[in-house]
């Protein structure tokens, strides 16, 4: 166990599974008190148990990040427990149930992606930022995607639009609050093996196609993304704000070439 985050409180949304779960385990292993907000209760509680069994400190609150009242409650409970929020990893997100061309997307499917992926991040930041401003310091990382920087023809236009919005929201928020001690960045993963993409990967032809999109010729692991998040939240990144950090095995570079 290292101590980079000793004495720090880290709030993570979407921490029950995938990248968020890996982040929760890593922040806790580096000494942080971790608070997870996620809609998935069983998986969230399992993550907390795993952290506590390893000697770390963690709490779970069932939260739908698309609901203002639930986000407000998550923040209140975090403050009641920990008194401060040093870092926030706003990571909860969905890709939608099915990939399909733009003209076939249903309005309710479009709205749900935007509510969770974009509004959810705004709802979190609008409560986290004033707390960090009061503290005189804080670091936020929002999960975007390499698809927040490029387009694709694989039927994910609403997801692509939502992640472009995350990158834009992050840059604007970083510009507004940089002089108040709050650094705000986004992380832009390539395809990562998590529950979100497992169903797509079960088709061998699709796995091959996705692997080929990456210059490195493979998918990433959740931990490879988390390594960047831990750095962005740390004092080592003290001159980094408004940055969209690509952790995508060369997807973006390849699509630009
Ligand atoms: P995942 O499905 O494994 O985990 C996402 C977590 O978010 C789950 O625990 C889920 O319960 C939670 N969640 C979903 N809706 C929620 C809501 N309304 N309120 C609270 N929690 C909610 O997915 P992942 O791959 O770990 O994705 C994490 C983030 O990374 C997402 O924002 C996703 O868009 C992004 N991302 C993933 C990949 C990838 O290939 N896996 C690539 C680029 C970006």
Residue 39 CA to ligand 1 center (angstroms) comes to 11
Closest approach atom of ligand 1 to CA 67: 18
101 is a domain residue: yes
Instruction: Give me the pLDDT at residue 199, please.
Output: 77
2 is a domain residue: no
104 is a domain residue: yes
141 is a domain residue: yes
Instruction: Give me the pLDDT at residue 97, please.
Output: 80
Instruction: Give me the pLDDT at residue 257, please.
Output: 60
Q: Is 63's C-beta closer than 6 angstroms to any atom of ligand 1? A: yes
Strand, helix or coil for residue 58:
strand
pLDDT in tens, 143-178: 999 999 999 888 899 999 999 999 999 999 999 999
Q: Is 195's C-beta closer than 6 angstroms to any atom of ligand 1? A: yes
pLDDT in tens, 91-103: 999 998 888 899 9
What is the length of the chain?
257
β-partners of residue 35 are: 11, 59
Q: Is the pLDDT of residue 202 over 90?
A: no
Q: Which domain holds residue 217?
A: 9-256
Residue 63 CA to ligand 1 center (angstroms) comes to 13
Q: What is the mean pLDDT of residues 132-147?
A: 98
Sorted by sequence, the CB contacts under 8 Å of residue 230 that are 6+ apart come out as 4, 5, 23, 26, 27, 30
Mean pLDDT across the chain: 95
* Tokens linked to 137: 């310091």
* pLDDT confidence tier of residue 200, bands split at 50, 70 and 90: confident
Structurally, the chain folds into a number of domains equal to: 1
Q: Using CB atoms within 10 Å of the CB of residue 196, give its burial: 0 to 12 exposed, 13 to 18 middle, 19+ buried.
A: middle
Whole-angstrom Cα distance, residue 119 to residue 25? Answer: 26
Tokens 């403050």, located at residue: 79
- Give this complex's ipTM: 0.99
Residue 14 CA to ligand 1 center (angstroms) comes to 6
* Tokens linked to 93: 């997100």
Q: What is the mean pLDDT of residues 20-29?
A: 98
Whole-angstrom Cα distance, residue 174 to residue 139? Answer: 10
Query: Would you please indicate which residues are annotated as catalytic (active-site) residues?
Result: 159
CATH of the domain at 147: 3.40.50.720
152 is a domain residue: yes
Q: Is the pLDDT of residue 232 over 70?
A: yes
Q: Is 47's C-beta closer than 6 angstroms to any atom of ligand 1? A: no
Q: Is the pLDDT of residue 4 over 60?
A: yes
b/e per residue, 14-34, with b = 16+ CB within 10 A?
bbbbbbbbbbbbbbbbbbbbb
Q: Is 92's C-beta closer than 6 angstroms to any atom of ligand 1? A: yes
239 is a domain residue: yes
Residue 20 CA to ligand 1 center (angstroms) comes to 7
Q: What is the mean pLDDT of residues 173-190?
A: 98
99 is a domain residue: yes
4 is a domain residue: no
Q: What is the mean pLDDT of residues 125-151?
A: 97
Q: Is 196's C-beta closer than 6 angstroms to any atom of ligand 1? A: yes
Nearest CA to ligand 1 atom 10: 14
DSSP string, 182-207: EEEEEEEE--B-SHHHHHHHTSHHHH
Q: Is the pLDDT of residue 1 over 60?
A: no
């Amino acid at each position: 166990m290292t101590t980079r985050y000793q004495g720090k409180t880290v709030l993570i949304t979407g921490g029950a599974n995938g990248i968020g779960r890996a982040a929760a385990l890593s922040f806790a292993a580096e000494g942080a008190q971790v608070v997870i907000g996620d809609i998935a209760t069983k998986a969230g509680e399992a993550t907390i148990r795993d952290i506590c069994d390893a000697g770390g400190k963690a709490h779970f609150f069932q939260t739908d990040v698309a609901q203002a009242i639930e986000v407000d409650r998550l923040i209140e409970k975090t403050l009641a427990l920990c008194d401060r929020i040093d870092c926030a990893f706003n990571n909860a997100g969905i890709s939608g149930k099915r990939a399909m061309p733009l003209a076939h997307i249903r309005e309710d499917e479009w709205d749900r992606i935007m509510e969770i992926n974009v509004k959810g991040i705004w709802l979190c930041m609008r409560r986290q930022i004033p707390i960090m401003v009061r503290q005189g310091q804080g670091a936020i990382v929002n999960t975007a995607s390499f698809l927040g920087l490029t387009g694709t023809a694989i039927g994910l236009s609403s997801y692509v639009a939502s992640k472009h919005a995350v990158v834009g929201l992050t840059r604007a928020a970083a510009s507004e609050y940089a002089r108040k001690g709050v650094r705000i960045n986004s992380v832009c993963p390539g395809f990562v093996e998590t529950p979100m993409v497992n169903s797509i990967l079960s088709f061998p032809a699709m796995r091959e196609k996705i692997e080929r999109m990456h210059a490195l010729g493979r998918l990433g692991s959740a931990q490879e993304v988390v390594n960047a998040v831990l750095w962005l939240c740390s004092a080592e990144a003290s001159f980094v704000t408004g940055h969209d950090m690509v952790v995508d095995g060369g997807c973006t570079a390849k699509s630009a070439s």
